[in-house]
Amino acid sequence: MDTMRADYYILQDGILKRKENTVYFENKGERRVLPINKIYSIYAYGKLSFSSGVVSYLSKNGIPIHFFNYYGFYEGSMYPRETLISGDLVIQQAAQYLDDDKRMQLAGKFIEGACGNILKNLKYYSRSREDIQKNIDSYISSIESEILRLPDAHSIAGMMNVEGRIRNIYYSALDEIFPEEYRIVTRTRRPPGNKMNTLISFGNSLMYTTVLSEIYNTQLNPTISYLHEPFERRFSLALDVSEIFKPIIIDRIILKLVNKNMLDDNCFRGEIGDMLLSDKGKKIFLKEYNDKLGTTIKHKGLKRNVSYKRLIRLELYKLSKHVLGDEVYKPLVMWW
């Protein structure tokens, strides 16, 4: 199982080389050997140069590299040649998209899953924080009533609207939980306006790339999506699926970082209105992220322990089954 391979996060500037049949990362102060058979994917946050051999060597071994720019935003991926190809699945995936009813059904499932997990997060805080329980409960019930409107939406745009409203309510609810300096107020991107927006943006782009790495390891085509439009120049299926995992993984990490006071002012750079994570902040976030992906929970159906990362893959398998007509897709909602 591929969970034995590790994700490497490279924050420093340097050169990636092929040397002695494995991968070396080198710069002035550092020289690391990455065992080629143990790399799952590489997240490049620094300025990375490549020697000619390393790109083909990584591709040959099916290792994608995801690039993020100086600001921590996703730039693109070196996505190796697809080795898991199934024409049948791609055709079925497209057929699901072209049939409006079927597309809406799947799009709805992604929203349903995302909202189910959002509610789980809020319910946890409603139980554990008596001082704000009443407020959170009222947000919970307005999200619940929004979800009921989902079946009435007759277009993808209508569904996106419902989703947008739910997200707004969710962010207001989170603002009750977060201390003052970490309020979201309004969601802003590129550049994120304050600390919380910075954390959300950073986390979401990480989530997107992790899902993309997982899609690479299935036969699904990453460009055919349902909730998001597939004609954007992005692997939009990864956007669809990451909706489900953002509340489970990213939001929980952020809540932990903030509630346990793990971040200080040195973790951010820039000013309010143009706030970014510093290297220190990135490092802390990435460590939590990596630990989270490796955390295991007991899976009810499989009756064994699976990691969060594995859950993403299982979700994609469920999606393939749905597309092929084997089993109706039921989005993952945290049972723990």
Site residues, other proteins (CB under 8 A):
1, 4, 6-12, 20-22, 25, 30, 32-33, 35-38, 283, 286-287, 290
Minimal distance in Å, beta carbon 21 to other proteins? Answer: 6
Residues whose CB is less than 8 angstroms from the CB of residue 53 and which lie 6 or more positions away in sequence, other chains included: 17, 18
Residue 87 and residue 224 in contact, taking contact as beta carbons nearer than 8 Å? no
Residue 216's CB: how many other CB atoms inside 10 A? 21
Minimal distance in Å, beta carbon 99 to other proteins? Answer: 41
Residue 15 and residue 25 in contact, taking contact as beta carbons nearer than 8 Å? yes
Residue 117 and residue 248 in contact, taking contact as beta carbons nearer than 8 Å? yes
Whichever of 119 and 293 has its CB closer to other proteins, that residue is 293
178 class by beta-carbon count within 10 Å (0-12 exposed, 13-18 middle, 19+ buried): middle
Whichever of 282 and 318 has its CB closer to other proteins, that residue is 282
Whichever of 3 and 135 has its CB closer to other proteins, that residue is 3
Residue 56, phi-psi category: left (phi > 0), alpha (psi -120 to 50), beta (remainder): alpha
- Assign 284 to helix, strand or coil: helix
Nearest alpha carbon to residue 217 among 315, 300, 304:
315
Minimal distance in Å, beta carbon 32 to other proteins? Answer: 6
Whichever of 51 and 168 has its CB closer to other proteins, that residue is 51
Whichever of 186 and 305 has its CB closer to other proteins, that residue is 305
Minimal distance in Å, beta carbon 100 to other proteins? Answer: 44
Minimal distance in Å, beta carbon 11 to other proteins? Answer: 7
